[in-house]
Amino acid sequence: MASKFFRNYVLLFLFLLLVISGCGKSGNITLPAHEEAVMSVSFSHDGRYLLTGSADGTARIFDVFNAWEMVCELRGHSSWVYQAEFLPGDREIVTAGFEGNLKLWSFDPCSELAAYRGHTDRVRAVAVHPSGLNFVSCGWDSTIISWDKQGADMLYRIQGHNEKICDLALSPDGSVIATASRDNVVSLWNRENGTNIARLNGHTGDLKGVRFSNDGRHIASTGFDSTVIIWDAEALKAKHVLKKHDDLLFTVAFSPDGTTLASAGNDGRIILWDLWTGKIVNIFIPGAGIRKLSFSPDGEFLAAACADGSVRIYHQGS
């Protein structure tokens, strides 16, 4: 109990100390994370670190408890880092790169451990299995690849869509892959063997973002039709079709408690939706295009990867 109180005290102190005016609501932070667009943002499983990937070719790790100090920079991709994710345990990181490769990294010390080659075009997304033993990736070559982490081997490779695949997500138990493609379709796949389970039709433009809720009951998707769809993952039907954005959308994220969905894109707004009613519960205005969103594991913070090289961090209690 004392350690939790101390942690909350430290976090509150840092947010009060680091407030920068003109970045949205009072009590929020703008972190100058990269020199070019931030393409990816995610928290470590313990909430201690913030991990980013950028068009400047690097992934960086920031210490949440130490004034957001950068503690690690990963250099090894020849161009954009589209996504970076911690593996369970937070001692290793996997990154997806423009040049078509994935890389596995050690954190503390920060060093490259392995490279995974198999895609023939940009690797747009990667998702780690809960076991930490394997992960799946997708890219502009329209394929999905399942990887064995230890051997850097392909477990299988499938032609997933007729168009470029821009995002994927794993269900919380790691059994289902959801993919979002430029063919306007969300597809669901058996993670074990790569067989197709379902195709969810409803969007009218390129899809850019897809995510599962933490309880696995919902899937959210979004893209260039400026629409967010919340799907019932069991019935495989649309639960809410949300149309309040007015520009291209790139990302969605569920809050850990499953009550809220955040969406964002080129209109410079983050809209928070009530998952059950589909109504807007809050709007943040970073004023910059947003490429990815991520909630901290405890739901306290929402981080937005911005096209201007910054990460905007919103305190959910403010």
Burial (CB count <10 Å: 0-12, 13-18, 19+), residue 179: buried
The pLDDT value recorded for residue 2 is: 45
Render pLDDT for 135-163 as a digit per residue (tens, 0 to 9).
Answer: 999 999 999 999 999 988 999 999 989 99
pLDDT above 70 coverage of the chain, percent: 91
Tens of pLDDT along 15-74?
Answer: 333 333 333 333 489 999 999 999 999 999 999 999 999 999 999 999 999 999 999 999
pLDDT grade, residue 316 (50/70/90)? confident
Q: Which two tokens stand for residue 303?
A: 């981080």
Own/partner long-range contacts of 284-289 (Cβ < 8 Å, ≥24 apart): 284/24, 284/25, 284/28, 284/312, 284/314, 285/24, 286/23, 286/24, 286/312, 287/23, 287/24, 288/312, 289/250, 289/265
Nearest to 29 by CA among 18, 39, 37: 18
Residue 258 clears pLDDT 90, i.e. is over it: yes
For 141-157, give the DSSP string: TSEEEEEETTTTEEEEE
- pLDDT tens column, 264-279: 999 999 999 999 999 9
CATH architecture, domain 30-315: 7 Propeller (2.130)
Per-residue pLDDT, averaged over 84-103, amounts to: 98
Rg over alpha carbons for the chain, rounded to the nearest Å, is: 18
Q: Residue 218: what pLDDT?
A: 98
Classify residue 8 by its DSSP letter: H
114 pLDDT exceeds 50?
A: yes
In the predicted model, what is the mean pLDDT of the chain? Answer: 91
Alpha helices in the chain (DSSP H): 2-18
What pLDDT is recorded for position 317? Answer: 59
Domain ranges of the chain: 30-315
Q: How confident is the model at residue 131 (pLDDT cuts 50, 70, 90)?
A: very high
Sequence letter at residue 306: C
**Could you tell me the two tokens for 57?**
């070719």
Residue 212 has pLDDT above 80, yes or no: yes
Interval 283-308: pLDDT, tens = 999 988 999 999 999 999 999 999 99
- Residue 11 clears pLDDT 80, i.e. is over it: no
* Beta-bridge partners for 176: 190
pLDDT at 161: 92
Q: Give per-residue burial for 16-44: e unless 16+ CB within 10 Å, then b.
A: eeebeeebbeeebbbbebbeebbbbbbbb
Identify the pLDDT of residue 43.
98
CA 226 to chain centre: 18
